[in-house]
A and B are shown apart, each in its own frame.
Chain A
Amino acid sequence: MREVRYWQALNEALREELDRDPDVFVMGEDVGIYGGAYGVTKGLYEDYGEERIRDTAISEQVIVGAAVGAAMTGMRPVAEIMYVDFLGVAMDQIFNQAAKIRYMFGGKAKVPMTLRTQGGTGRGLAAQHSQSLESWFLHVPGLKVVMPSTPYDAKGLLKAAIRDDNPVLFIEHKMLYGTKGMIPDGEYIVPLGLADVKRPGSDVTVVAHSRMLLYALEAAETLEKEGISVEVIDPRTLAPLDMDTIMTSVKKTGRVVLVEEGCKTGGVGGEIATRIMEEGFYYLDAPIIRVAAKDVPIPMSPALEPLAVPSVQEIIDAVKKLYV
Chain B
Amino acid sequence: MIKDALVAKEKKEDLIFWLKQMHHIRYFEEMVMQLLAENYVKGGSHCYAGQEAVAVGACAAIRKDDYITSTHRGHGHGIAKGGKLNELMAEICGKAAGCCKGKGGSLHLADLSTGNLGANGIVGGSFGIAAGAALTCKMKKLDRVVLCFYGDGAANQGIAHESMNMAATWKLPVIYICENNLYGMSVSVNRAASVEDLAVRALAYDMPYKIVDGMDVLAVKEAVEQAAERARKGEGPMLIECKTYRYYGHSRSDARVYRTKEEEKYWKDRDPIPNFAKRLIENGIITEDEAKEIDAQAKKDIEDATKFAKDAPYPEPEALFEDLYA
In the assembled complex, the CB of B39 is this many whole angstroms from the nearest CB of chain A, namely 23
The verdict on B200 contacting chain A, using a C-beta distance below 8 Å, is no
Kindly state the separation between the CA atoms of A116 and B127 in the bound complex, as whole angstroms. Answer: 21
Whether A62 contacts B100 by the Cβ 8 Å rule is no
Whether B323 contacts A107 by the Cβ 8 Å rule is yes
Query: A73: which of B67, B113, B127, B322 is its contact (CB, 8 Å)?
Result: B67
Contact with B along A73-105 (1 / 0, CB 8 A): 111010000000000000011001100011111
Kindly state the separation between the CA atoms of A112 and B136 in the bound complex, as whole angstroms. Answer: 13
**Number of A-B residue pairs having CB atoms within 8 Å of each other in the complex:** 148
Report A-chain residues with C-beta under 8 Å of the C-beta of B163. 62, 65-66
Kindly state the separation between the CA atoms of A211 and B224 in the bound complex, as whole angstroms. Answer: 53
The verdict on B103 contacting chain A, using a C-beta distance below 8 Å, is yes
Contact with A along B119-134 (1 / 0, CB 8 A): 0111001011111111
Kindly state the separation between the CA atoms of A112 and B111 in the bound complex, as whole angstroms. Answer: 18
Query: A97: which of B128, B137, B166 is its contact (CB, 8 Å)?
Result: B128
Report A-chain residues with C-beta under 8 Å of the C-beta of B104. 104-106
Whether A75 contacts B326 by the Cβ 8 Å rule is no
| Known interface pairs A103-B323, A112-B326; A57-B128 also in contact (CB < 8 Å) | no
The verdict on B201 contacting chain A, using a C-beta distance below 8 Å, is no
| Known interface pairs A57-B166, A66-B131; A105-B108 also in contact (CB < 8 Å) | yes
Report A-chain residues with C-beta under 8 Å of the C-beta of B128. 61-62, 64-66, 68-69, 93, 97
Report A-chain residues with C-beta under 8 Å of the C-beta of B131. 62, 65-66, 69
The verdict on A51 contacting chain B, using a C-beta distance below 8 Å, is yes
Whether B166 contacts A108 by the Cβ 8 Å rule is no
Whether A72 contacts B133 by the Cβ 8 Å rule is yes
The count of chain A contact residues (Cβ–Cβ below 8 Å) is 43
Whether A75 contacts B130 by the Cβ 8 Å rule is no
| Known interface pairs A66-B131, A93-B128, A110-B326; A57-B169 also in contact (CB < 8 Å) | yes
Contact with A along B60-76 (1 / 0, CB 8 A): 00000001010000000
Report B-chain residues with C-beta under 8 Å of the C-beta of A106. 98-104, 323
* Most chain A CB inside 10 Å of its own CB: which residue of B118, B127, B158, B326: B326
Report A-chain residues with C-beta under 8 Å of the C-beta of B69. 69
Query: A65: which of B102, B132, B137 is its contact (CB, 8 Å)?
Result: B132
Whether A59 contacts B165 by the Cβ 8 Å rule is yes
Report A-chain residues with C-beta under 8 Å of the C-beta of B322. 107
Interface hits, B104-158 → A, CB 8 Å: 104, 108, 110-113, 117-118, 120-122, 125, 127-137, 139-140, 158
Whether A70 contacts B159 by the Cβ 8 Å rule is no
The verdict on B162 contacting chain A, using a C-beta distance below 8 Å, is yes
From A25, which residue of chain B is reached at the shortest CB distance? B139
